[in-house]
Amino acid sequence: MKWIWLFVALATLGSIGQAATTKVIADGFPQVMNSQREGVHWQDNLSVVILNEDNLPVERASLVVDGKELLSDNQGRISVPTAPKSDWLVVKKPGFQKVYVAPQESNLITVKISLQEINAVYVSTGFARNLNGSKMSTVLELMEETQLNAIVIDVKDDEGRVSSGLEGLVSELKSRGVYTIARVVTFKDNRAPRKNSNLGIQRSNGKLWADRNNVTYLNPMNSKAHDYVISVANSAVDMGFDEIQFDYVRFPTDGALGQISWGVELNSDVRSQAIASFLKKARAALGKRGAYVSADVFGITGHDKNDSGIGQHLETIVPHIDYASPMVYPSGYASGTFGIKSPAKNPYDIVKKSLDLYTSRALVANPDLIIRPWLQAFRDYSKDKQRYGDKEIKDQIKAAMDSGSLGFLLWNASSNYTYAGLKRHRMRKP
């Protein structure tokens, strides 16, 4: 299990008291808060200073208090004039471990936060629920013995099915030191529009539109559709997930797109503003609850100066998320990309060049953004049918690290993972 140390400095009117040491589980609800005592309450005129591991102030860190999210200044300071009503305060910043702080006797508090590299795998909900099944047993073993420390689980899947009752699973994973990410498939949804057609993309005749696979979509320009997805995301926060990851946060790409009635003239700006509007609303709703917000985007968004026809104009959407996960699967790139004849056979080059391009633009639009790509852990589906094993996965991870990414996500739709490409080590026990 992974532990971080929080040092809370106690001070009273001109005199600094002895520092209290608090031990919490990284990114989970605190299991031991030896500074929390019965009868101790928050004080008025609370002053919180947020520092990094080098004792330097952290600017634009968040303090979640009473349903609000406050940001630190360039000295790492946040002021709370009225005593908080919350039992816990949450301190967070993308790329750092969240810290939960209990009420203190002093109104002067210093919180240290540590950098956090998230390395995750995707596991479908059905497999994730069965902790003793072969697939989850393998994943949990990898969590213990490699650099993996996080898991992505569907809360709303590609069909639009919404999972509930995951509190016990999330709690168990956190007890093992595992960071939990709820995957919420956003606008691709074959359930909700069929129950309420007003939420779905419609044809000019007023009937629901569906793609080539007869799958319906929520309308990215419909604020009520936004609200529905955010309500699902909020349910994931209720179940204890650390982060909400929005996938398919885009306009559809296939099917009879010309039959769609949008009600407005559609262009790159209109599409991108619709996606940005959703992400902004979601980030505001979820951030003030202590959750991080991430979005999966096409790998090509770093190449395309426009929106790729799907509303994912990079500079328009990244200011509204904490983590961006470009899907830089080498199999998804056309022959000749970056002058590479066979992208699937050159995973390092294609991932590195793609992420370099993405990073050079994204961090200008959002300096606090953490880039954490999706990498390929499945057999190549292009004409080469390249097997993706130890070397291919290792090359992708190295490319991600060399590009400055903080962590990575491995995708295998069947949730099949091995030690291939991962660093073996024994997790240090507390």
pLDDT tens digits, 291-344:
999 999 999 999 999 999 999 999 999 999 999 999 999 999 999 999 999 999
**Is pLDDT at 7 greater than 80 in this prediction?**
no
**Is pLDDT at 231 greater than 90 in this prediction?**
yes
**Is pLDDT at 237 greater than 70 in this prediction?**
yes
**Is pLDDT at 12 greater than 80 in this prediction?**
no
Closest CA to 294 of 325, 315, 272: 325
SS3 annotation, 331-398: HHCCCCHHHCCCHHHCHHHHHHHHHHHHHHHHHHHCCCCEECCEEECCCCCCCCCCCCCHHHHHHHHH
pLDDT at 219: 98
Q: What is the pLDDT of residues 168-226, one digit of tens each?
A: 999 999 999 999 999 999 999 999 999 999 999 999 999 999 999 999 999 999 999 99
**Is pLDDT at 83 greater than 60 in this prediction?**
yes
Q: In terms of pLDDT, which residue wins out, 389 or 6?
A: 389
Distance of CA 294 to the CA centre of its chain: 3
Q: What is the mean pLDDT of residues 402-412?
A: 98
So where are the chain's domains? Answer: 3-112, 118-411
Q: What is the mean pLDDT of residues 90-105?
A: 94
What class does CATH assign to 118-411? alpha beta
Contact call for residues 69 and 288 (beta carbons, < 8 A): yes
Q: What is the mean pLDDT of residues 125-135?
A: 97
pLDDT-based confidence at 2, cuts 50/70/90? very low
**Is pLDDT at 3 greater than 50 in this prediction?**
no
Distance of CA 280 to the CA centre of its chain: 14
389 phi and psi angles, rounded to 5 deg: -120, -145
* Percent of the chain's residues with pLDDT above 70: 90
**Which of 274-288, 341-355, 372-386 has the weakest average pLDDT?**
372-386
pLDDT at 382: 72
pLDDT at 37: 64
**Is pLDDT at 30 greater than 70 in this prediction?**
no
Q: What is the pLDDT of residues 132-141, one digit of tens each?
A: 999 999 999 9
Cβ atoms < 10 Å from Cβ of 240: 19
pLDDT at 36: 57
Please determine whether the domains at 3-112 and 118-411 fall in the same fold group of CATH.
no
pLDDT at 38: 76
**Is pLDDT at 55 greater than 90 in this prediction?**
yes
CA 171 – CA 167 distance, rounded (Å): 6
pLDDT-based confidence at 32, cuts 50/70/90? very low
**Mean pLDDT for all residues in the chain:** 90
pLDDT at 10: 26
Buried b (16+ CB within 10 A) or exposed e, 56-78: eebbebbbbbeeebbebeeebeb
Distance of CA 19 to the CA centre of its chain: 33
Domain 3-112 grouped into CATH 2.60.40.1120: yes
CB-based contacts of 130, cutoff 8 Å, min separation 6: 136
